[in-house]
């Protein structure tokens, strides 16, 4: 039940981040490296989308499938034989 509530809060947070991205962006400011990826508003949008998809995956219990490509990129990650089948 707590995973569901935390995931629901993540979904609500991501929607609010997209809706109020100008206010959030003004609160954090802008760094030079952000210009290459769309500025502060682009970073907030990308972060909100990532939070949204991770919350959906956590809510449905599919984080192992969702994060398996990232785990395989890390050193010491799972081998190809241990990947979940789709």
Query: pLDDT digit string (tens) for 65-83?
Result: 887 777 777 776 655 565 5
Record the pTM.
Answer: 0.75
Residue 49: how many CB atoms within 10 A of its CB? 13
The DSSP letter of residue 32 is: G
pLDDT of residue 13: 96
Q: How far apart are CA 54 and CA 8, in angstroms?
A: 11
pLDDT of residue 74: 74
Q: How far apart are CA 70 and CA 51, in angstroms?
A: 15
pLDDT interval class at 62 (50, 70, 90):
confident
Of 67, 61, 55, nearest to 9 by C-alpha is 55
- Report pLDDT digits (tens) over 32-59: 888 888 889 999 999 999 999 999 999 9
pLDDT of residue 7: 93
For the segment 23-31, the average pLDDT, to the nearest whole number, is: 88
Indicate the domain borders of the chain: 2-82
């Amino acid at each position: 039940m707590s995973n569901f509530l935390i995931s629901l809060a993540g979904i609500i947070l991501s929607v609010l981040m997209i809706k109020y991205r100008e206010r959030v962006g003004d609160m954090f400011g802008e760094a030079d490296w952000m210009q290459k990826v769309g500025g502060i508003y682009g970073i907030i949008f990308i972060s909100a989308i990532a939070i949204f998809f991770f919350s959906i995956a956590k809510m449905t219990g599919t984080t192992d499938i969702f994060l398996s490509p990232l785990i395989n990129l890390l050193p010491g990650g799972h081998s190809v034989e241990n990947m979940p089948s789709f």
